[in-house]
Chains A and B, each alone.
Chain A
């Protein structure tokens, strides 16, 4: 821990990673290094996009920060406290639908509250507010299978918001949606984020998503995932995605990502042949 490379950090940071690494199946012949030496500071209320080629370990970092997996090396802190397990204050939103199909929408949204043992009336009220914030008050009594993919992800966001999280961890939440819906969802997420005051750590491999949403873009290398560069985004919100500045950023990110995608490709081919 006391290595000379250790960078000090402020306990006011929402999330801090120092030297975080993860090896899957560590100590076995199938060991595979997913992440190496991640140093990252995320401020409260900041929107950070993790961008990288598929399989570069960005989702792994999210699982580590959510406390669902243990890091093999390094440590993370959440507002100064060591991350040692899952917490409702660090909500993870998954790529695939993760709503419980046997519960109605409002019961899904208030699932975490019922774990805490809140009374039904109170849970209903909080669920109603959370659904209103994602624009789905009408869906209160519906079942998840009656909703479209985009609506389901909004309910998942509402479920996370109902726990009043300080950090939202989003693992390619819109990847399964079609392009038009995804654009809508980005607008929606931008609004929700600015109202909630929570930090967002958003994993994607879509450059457009990074341009539309991020305060800072963290570009990852191919496996093992390391931070290649961090690019601050100075565009004003609401963003004009066709402005020359946005175009320039897009080009910069594409450039930065291209080598990594090539490397990831070469590695996958080498593994397959």
Chain B
């Protein structure tokens, strides 16, 4: 039942499609292409900087005018200036254990890194598990009529349930640790993605299926060689749209059920009345979420190169 990933994963976006050109020509193409890419990226970077600068500027102005109390809403120069001091709070590893002091554990910079990696890892694991489960379930629902009848009504019923409602279930099932957080990410994405998979299968170009049929393809071949490749790009877009939802859910899960992670740091900031820590963590989460989205777009362009371009709705940041 191997999906024919070889045809999907092989070819980069550009590259040997340039045809038979001399090495010098190829070199100049590469240079001019990267130069063009830089020229396109510069205005975008400038606008991103301008947007962030405007936002931070208004905040700073409010502080300078005395409207924003620095104890409640410390402006960027204060909470970013306090990074070194705040970093030690990220060292939440094993804090709940008896006999573990404030200074135990890794140095502050490493603690920040561990925390970030832990949260990112949970989001990533959740995305991979959710996508795999959702695609296989969705395909199975369309492939086996009985499976559809047995599962689809339940899935449709569960889809609108807020992931927050699953939080107690996550803790009942998995206690504390990585598992409940990953479970939360999976549950937040799974049902929507199953429904999206089914809808994508129903909207596969009929001509594709008919071509395969006239070529003598079996039902299994049609599913694995036509339908699944045809739905992957749009499903990847769905996955990207749900990425931010995954980041939200993982924070909630971490705040309640896990010993460390960015959600836990936010809760610590709240409980110890430390707005600098909260804002610093918010910046971290924003940067991480954005990088994650960028990474997924990069993967999408390289691996799923037949995605129609121009669906870059999330570019705004």
Contacts and interface: CB of A to CB of B under 8 A. Distances in A.
Q: Do A and B bind each other?
A: yes
B306 interface: yes
Interface in A106-123: 107, 111-112, 115-116
B16 interface: yes
A159 B205 CA distance: 18
B215 A141 contact: no
Contact of A98 (B19, B208, B305): B208
A87 B207 contact: no
A146 B210 CA distance: 23
A143 B15 CA distance: 12
A88 B305 contact: no
A104 B305 CA distance: 11
Interface centre among B211, B214, B216, B225 (most CB of A within 10 A): B214
Contacts, number: 69
A215 B212 CA distance: 30
A203 to B, nearest CB: 15
Contact of A116 (B216, B225, B304): B216
B8 interface: yes
A146 B17 contact: yes
A114 B144 CA distance: 25
Interface residues of A, number: 30
B2 to A, nearest CB: 14
Interface residues of B, number: 25
A68 interface: yes
B7 A143 contact: no
A49 to B, nearest CB: 21
Given A94-B207, A100-B226, A141-B17, A115 B215 contact: yes
Contacts of B210: 66, 68, 86, 92, 94, 98
B44 interface: no
Contacts of B8: 102
Interface string A70-109: 0000000000000000111011101010101111100100
A141 B207 CA distance: 23
Contacts of B230: 100, 102
A126 to B, nearest CB: 13
B216 A88 contact: yes
Contacts of A145: 306
Nearest to A162: B215
Contacts of B225: 111, 115
Interface string B12-24: 0000110100000
Interface centre among B8, B11, B221, by most chain A C-beta atoms within 10 angstroms, is B11
A146 to B, nearest CB: 7
Interface in B205-231: 205, 207-208, 210-217, 221, 225-226, 229-230
Contacts of B7: 102-103, 107
A107 B8 CA distance: 12
Nearest to B8: A102
Nearest to A112: B215
Query: Among B17, B205, B211, B213, which residue has the most Cβ atoms of chain A within 10 A?
Result: B211
A239 interface: no
B216 A86 contact: yes
B229 A68 contact: no
Interface string A50-73: 000000000000000011100000
A163 interface: yes
Contacts of A107: 7
Interface of B: 7-8, 11, 16-17, 19, 205, 207-208, 210-217, 221, 225-226, 229-230, 304-306
9 contacts: A66-B210, A68-B210, A68-B213, A86-B214, A94-B207, A98-B208, A102-B230, A141-B17, A143-B11
Interface of A: 66-68, 86-88, 90-92, 94, 96, 98, 100-104, 107, 111-112, 115-116, 138, 141-143, 145-146, 159, 163
